[in-house]
Structure 1
Amino acid sequence: MKFQLAINMERMDASLDMKDVARHTLEMVQMADGGGFNIVWAAEHHALEMTIAPNPFSILAWWAENTDRIRLGTAVAVAAYWHPIKLAGEAGFLDLISGGRLEFGIGSGAYQREFDRMAPGLKQSDAWRYMQEMLPCVRELWKGDYEHNGEFWSFPTATAVPKPVQKEVPVWVAARAPITYDYAVREGCNIMSWPLTRGMDEAETYMGRLNEAMAAHPGARRPVMAMMRHTALYDRKEDWMVPVRAAQRQLGQFENLFKNLGDVKDGFPKQIPFEDLGNRAEYDPKMLHDNLMFGTPDEVIAKLKQYEAIGVDEFIYYASLGLGLPEQKRSLELFINEVIPAFS
């Protein structure tokens, strides 16, 4: 099993200075670079302090300049917010300046709140159509001159400038629904999946969807299958509630965005009180501890072995869950020093 890091610049409230957040994020990426992680991912989100990522390529260029070997991925570039020529060129430039380290992740986008601002009138549930038109268009622009007349974009002959230095840029899609697994296999894309706070049965469901997609496309290349979980390690078992409390707070804000309640002040979403949540069972402390990648190094190794056993190729360590900055660094240090060697 290989390991990837997903990390955002994040502030849960205004008590953290933005400069400290930026410095911390880069130091975490540098730790992953020297500690054996394969890929680091930067997101795209807008007008939200909990995920400060207005342009994933700017973030990756920053990381590229300050790392040596780790590969650099977009998780994900939101198709509907881009023009194909601009997206292809930004990706090509990042691949050029990083020495061919780009991993190109593309997706539909997560929050209706963002679509209301970035692509007014577009429903999040319809955004997959933009992604499925965008990806083949970008791939053609990477090859050379290409004219496009599609449903969402049309332009005369153009090409990506600059082009990627890799002969074939690895492409990733975020997949949960069966239709997306089928698309990934058909189009030769790797898959990143996220069971949110659900149990191993959800992870097993995703692996089943991959197997069904492979059966529907005989002879297709099997995608690399990566699975993401919120991750936090600690030295003492009795500290198990520290990351649980952080996750409850962050997930309460996530619910606000997911339901598009409109209760966001100066970029900070209000946390929905637990008593107002219809899905309170998804925030139960023991459930969060058991389902998420929380634990001592030995506990986390045992959890990861379950993912390895069902066929997950790479694990995405999701570091951003509102945990304190020192606790985040100690967690990553424990993972690098004690967990990764168990899978060498």
Structure 2
Amino acid sequence: MKFHLAINMERIDGSLDMKDVARHTLEMVQMADAGGFGIAWAAEHHALEMTIAPNPFSILAWWAQHTNNIRLGTAVIAAPYWHPIRAAGEAAFVDLISGGRLEFGIGSGAYQREFDRMRPGLKQTDAWRYMQEMLPVIRALWQGDHAHEGEFWSFPASTSCPKPVQTEVPVWVAARAPITYDYAVRQGCNIQSWPLTRDMGEARLYMQRLEEALANHPGARRPVMAMMRHTAVYDRKEDWMVPVRAAQRQLSQFENLFRNLGDVENGFPKAIPFDQLGNRAEYDPEMLHRNLMFGTPDEVIAKLKDYQAIGVDAFIYYASLGLGLAEQKRSLELFCNEVIPAFA
């Protein structure tokens, strides 16, 4: 099993200085680079302090100058917010300056709140059509001159400047729905999946969708299947509620965004009080501890073996969950020193 790191510059409230957050994020990526992680992933989100990532390519360019071996990926660019020529050029530039370390992840976008600001009038449920139109265009632009007449973009012959260093840039799509698994297999893309806070049944469902897509396309290359979970490793079993409380707080802010309540002040979504949640079972402490990648090194190794057993190729360590900066670093240190060697 391979290991990836997903990390955001993140502020749950205004108590952290942005300079400290930025320095911490880079240091975490450097720890992952030295500790055996294969890829570091940067997201795209707008006008939100809990995920400060207005341009993942600029973040990757920053990381590239301060790392040596770890590959650098977008997880993911939101296709409706980009023009294909710009996305192709930005991606190729990162591949150039990183020495061919780019992993290109593309998706549809997450929150209706962002669409209302970045692509007004577009429903989040329709955004997958932009992603499916854009990806073949970007690949063509990386090869040379390409003219496009599509539903969402049209332009005369143009090309990506610069071109990628890699002959073939690995491409990833974020997939949960069967239609996206089918698209990934047809297009030769790797897959990032996120079961949120759900149990292993959700993970097995995603593996089933992958197998169904492969069965529908005989001879297609099997994609790399990566699965992401919020992760926190700690020294003592009795500390299990520390990451759980952090996750509960962050997830209640996510709930605000998913519902598009509009209750965001200066970039900080307000947490929904627990007694106002209709889906309280999704915030149960024991459930979160069980389903997320929380535990001592031995407990985390045992959980990861369950993912390995169902065929997951790579585990994405999602570091951003509102945990204290010192706790985040200790968690990653334990993961590098005690968890990764168990899968060597």
Classify the TM-score, shorter chain. Answer: over 0.9
Structure 2 matches for 1:1-344, cutoff 5 A?
1-344=1-344
In structure 1, the residue corresponding to 2:232 is in which secondary structure? strand
- Following TM superposition, by how much is the alpha carbon of 1:145 offset from its aligned partner in structure 2, in angstroms? 0.2
Letter in 1 for 2:140: E
For 1:274 and 1:209, locate their aligned partners in 2 and report how far apart those are by CA, in whole Å: 33
- How far is 1:162 from its partner? 0.3
| SS of match in other structure, 2:163 | coil
Partner AA of 2:319 in structure 1: A
Cα distance, 1:95 vs. partner? 0.2
2:177, 2:277 → 1: CA distance? Answer: 24
Q: Percent identity?
A: 83
Which AA in structure 2 matches 1:280?
Answer: R
SS in 2 for 1:132: helix
How far is the alpha carbon of 1:191 from its aligned partner?
0.1
Q: Which consecutive residues of structure 1, in runs of 5 or more, have no partner in the other structure?
A: none
Equivalents in 1 of 2:335, 2:12: separation in Å? 24
**Whole-angstrom distance in 2 between the partners of 1:182 and 1:152:** 22
Two-structure CA RMSD over aligned residues (Å)? 0.3
SS of the equivalent of 1:331 reads helix
What one-letter code is carried by the residue in structure 1 that aligns with 2:322?
A: G
When normalised by structure 2's length, the TM-score is 1.00
Deviations 1:20-44 (A, max 9, x none): 0000000000000000000000000
Deviations 1:180-221 (A, max 9, x none): 000000000000000000000000000000000000000000
Residue 58 of structure 1: CA displacement? 0.3
State the SS of the aligned residue for 1:205: helix
Question: Once the 2 structures are TM-superposed, how far is the Cα of residue 320 of structure 1 from its aligned partner?
Answer: 0.1
Aligned partners of 1:319, 1:222: CA distance in 2, in Å? 28
Q: CA deviation at 1:167?
A: 0.2
Alpha-carbon deviations, 1:33-83, whole Å to 9, x = none?
000000000000000000000000000000000000000000000000000
SS of match in other structure, 1:44: coil
Encode CA deviations 1:117-141: one digit per residue, 9 max, x unaligned. Answer: 0000000000000000000000000
Distance in 1 of aligned mates of 2:302 and 2:334: 15
3-state DSSP of counterpart to 1:255: helix
- Deviations 1:101-152 (Å, cap 9, x if unpaired)? 0000000000000000000000000000000000000000000000000000
Secondary structure of the structure 1 residue equivalent to 2:226: strand
The residue type paired with residue 158 of structure 1 is S
Determine the C-alpha separation between the residues in 2 that align with 1:282 and 1:143: 46
> Which letter does structure 1 place at the counterpart of 2:155?
F
Hey, what's the Cα distance between the residues in 1 that align with 2:171 and 2:278?
36
Taking the aligned partners of 1:263 and 1:102, their CA distance within structure 2 comes to 36
1:235 and 1:165 mapped to 2: Cα distance? 42
Q: Distance in 1 between matches of 2:99 and 2:232?
A: 31
Which residue type is aligned with residue 262 of structure 2? G
Q: Tell me the SS of whatever aligns to 1:53.
A: coil
Runs of 4+ in 1 over 4 A off after TM superposition: none
Which structure 2 segments of 5+ residues have no match?
none
Q: Distance in 2 between matches of 1:189 and 1:273?
A: 40
Q: Which whole-Å CA distance do the structure 1 matches of 2:107 and 2:203 have between them?
A: 20
Q: Aligned-pair distance for 1:92?
A: 0.5
**Could you tell me the TM-score, scaled by structure 1's length?**
1.00
Instruction: Please state whether the residue corresponding to 2:72 is helix, strand or coil.
Output: strand
Separation (CA, whole Å) in 1 of partners of 2:258 and 2:10: 17
The number of residue pairs the alignment matches comes to 344
Paired residue secondary structure (1:103):
strand
Provide the C-alpha distance between the structure 1 equivalents of 2:186 and 2:279, rounded to a whole number of angstroms.
35
Q: CA deviation at 1:166?
A: 0.2
What is the CA–CA distance in structure 1 between the aligned matches of 2:331 and 2:161, rounded to whole Å?
40
Work out the CA distance in 2 between the residues paired with 1:278 and 1:195. Answer: 19
SS in 2 for 1:182: helix
Give the superposition deviation at 1:94.
0.4
